[in-house]
């Protein structure tokens, strides 16, 4: 099938984000703040819009000379333009017309101010959350894959471990908070246990399902050629089960994010979950929104990296399953 050619030039769809940003900037500058808006105004939101406008103008120029990049940006342009439009509507509803309570729904410029003034502390909390998440997540993944291999491969291990999985697995990891606080010497190790448990269950179940679902004919052929049990497991069973293993890992990733927020309320000194809870108690909602945005961006990047790793490892599935 002949591929569609994209001649050099400008795709009009690439202009959608620029139009949306220009409209947002004009309305923000020309419309005065509501007379009942008592908070001090800052130029952070204006600076953000100008920066985004410059970036997407450069992007537009690049798309003129790069066909594949132009196709990609044209496809995403409507979503990006609508996203900026929604942000503009939120700005109008807060600082310009005050349609919603400002104490609970701060204007964008107040939220951007938090990133400027409290950015260093947010990064410190992000680093602590990252350390906690990585430690618990990796522990849960490794133990989940190993347990899943044992349960899916060996009937003896399946006999003893599978009932434990069925009893313990469905219990939310956060329900173990009282026991974790007593059983572990520090709140950090207790939090690692909770996150690891949240990842362990889906990873174990999907790994064992993938291992047990491998066709026996593969093992018969490999055994005929002299393959050992270890070779059958790690050369045939595990590679064949990788799609199921990755689904378990992705499910565990979402569970780990939820558990992290709860785990950071167990007396820890730093962390994004702790930061949000602390600012909420102080009714400092701009800081709460800044923490939520930091979490959303960070976790989105982590999920993207996992998908990229999955695509590299399961390159043979390209065109079969789309993520």
- Give the chain's domains with CATH numbers: 12-105 (no CATH), 115-317 (1.10.3720.10)
Q: Token pair of 78, please?
A: 């409507």
Q: What does the pLDDT look like over 270-317, one tens digit per residue?
A: 889 889 989 998 989 999 999 999 999 998 998 888 888 888 888 766
Cβ contacts of residue 38 below 8 Å, gap of 6+? none
pLDDT higher than 70, residue 319: no
Whether 34 shows a pLDDT value over 60: the answer reads: yes
Which tokens belong to 36? 């009942």
Rounded to an integer, what distance in angstroms lies between the CA atom of residue 51 and that of residue 53? 5
Judge whether residue 21 has pLDDT over 80: yes
pLDDT for 63 equals 92
Q: What is the mean pLDDT of residues 180-199?
A: 90
What local confidence, expressed as pLDDT, does residue 1 receive? 42
Look at residue 5 in the predicted model and tell me its pLDDT: 47
206 burial (CB, 10 Å; 0-12 / 13-18 / 19+) is buried
CA distance 197 to 191: 10
Q: Which pLDDT score is estimated for 2? A: 46
Q: Which pLDDT belongs to residue 316? A: 64
- What is the CB-side half-sphere exposure of residue 43 using CA atoms within 13 A? 3
On the CB side of 199, CA atoms within 13 Å amount to: 28
pLDDT band of residue 133 (cuts 50, 70, 90) is: very high
Confidence of residue 149 (pLDDT cuts 50, 70, 90): very high
CB 252 within 8 A of CB 305: no
Give the position of tokens 């990733």. Answer: 253
- pLDDT at residue number 39: 79
pLDDT of the residue at 135:
94
Encode pLDDT of 192-246 as tens digits.
999 999 999 999 999 999 999 888 888 888 888 888 889 988 889 998 899 899 9
pLDDT score, position 267:
67
Q: Is a pLDDT exceeding 50 seen at residue 75?
A: yes
Q: For residue 200, give the nearest of 234, 129, 128, 151 by alpha carbon.
A: 151
The C-alpha atoms of residue 161 and residue 231 are separated, in whole angstroms, by 23
What's the start-to-end Cα distance of the chain, in Å?
Answer: 24
Inter-residue contact 259 to 198 (CB < 8 Å): yes
């Amino acid at each position: 099938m002949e591929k569609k050619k994209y001649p050099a030039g400008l795709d009009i769809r690439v202009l959608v984000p620029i139009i949306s940003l220009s409209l947002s900037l004009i309305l923000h500058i020309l419309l005065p703040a509501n007379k009942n808006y008592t908070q001090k105004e800052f130029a952070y939101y204006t600076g953000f819009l100008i920066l985004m406008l410059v970036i997407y103008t450069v992007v537009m120029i690049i798309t003129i000379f790069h066909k594949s990049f132009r196709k990609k940006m044209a496809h995403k342009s409507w979503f990006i333009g609508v996203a900026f439009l929604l942000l503009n509507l939120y700005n109008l509803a807060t600082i310009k017309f005050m349609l919603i309570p400002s104490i609970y729904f701060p204007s964008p410029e107040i939220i951007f101010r938090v990133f400027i003034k409290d950015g260093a502390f947010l990064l410190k909390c992000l680093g602590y959350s990252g350390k906690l998440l990585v430690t618990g997540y990796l522990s849960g993944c490794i133990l989940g894959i190993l347990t899943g291999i044992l349960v899916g491969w060996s009937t003896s291990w399946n006999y003893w471990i599978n009932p434990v999985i069925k009893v313990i697995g469905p219990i939310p990891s956060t329900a173990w908070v009282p026991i974790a606080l007593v059983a572990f010497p520090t709140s950090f190790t207790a939090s690692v246990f909770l996150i690891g448990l949240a990842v362990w269950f889906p990873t174990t179940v999907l790994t064992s399902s993938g291992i047990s679902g491998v066709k026996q004919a593969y093992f018969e052929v490999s055994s005929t050629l002299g393959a050992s049990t270890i070779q059958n497991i790690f050369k045939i069973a595990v590679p064949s089960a990788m799609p199921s293993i990755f689904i378990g890992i992705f499910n565990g990733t979402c569970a780990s994010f939820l558990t992290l927020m709860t785990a950071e309320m167990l007396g820890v000194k730093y962390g994004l979950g702790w930061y949000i809870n602390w600012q909420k108690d102080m009714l400092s909602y701009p800081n709460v929104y800044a923490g939520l945005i930091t979490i959303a961006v960070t976790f989105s990047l982590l999920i993207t990296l996992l998908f990229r790793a999955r695509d590299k490892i399961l390159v043979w599935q390209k065109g079969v399953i789309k993520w």
